[in-house]
Amino acid sequence: MSEDAMPRITMSIRLGPMVHFQIEGQNCTEISQALDGFEHLNKTVDDMFSDLAERVYPDLDTEGNHAPVAEGGKT
């Protein structure tokens, strides 16, 4: 079978609303090798977006709840 006729595996991965990537390979071994280091990428993206969320929504706690408002209206 020619290389053009070989079946291909395409894996599409979305890490949140702004990060998306696609991996292609001819077998599970190729896909597995392409995913080496994925845990590091996932942690990096999570850290980046957590930091962004804290900057955009500074009044939310880590669970997404509004922080309690102290007397005088300040958190």
Are residues 53 and 66 both part of a single domain?
Answer: yes
Are residues 28 and 51 both part of a single domain?
Answer: no
Are residues 5 and 24 both part of a single domain?
Answer: yes
Instruction: Name the pTM for this structure.
Output: 0.46
CA separation for the pair 41, 39 (Å, rounded): 5
Are residues 23 and 49 both part of a single domain?
Answer: no
pLDDT in tens, the chain (75 residues): 565 677 899 999 887 777 788 999 999 898 888 888 888 887 888 888 888 888 888 887 666 666 555 566 555
CB 19 within 8 A of CB 12: no
Are residues 46 and 32 both part of a single domain?
Answer: no
Are residues 29 and 45 both part of a single domain?
Answer: no
* Full domain range(s) for residue 9: 1-36
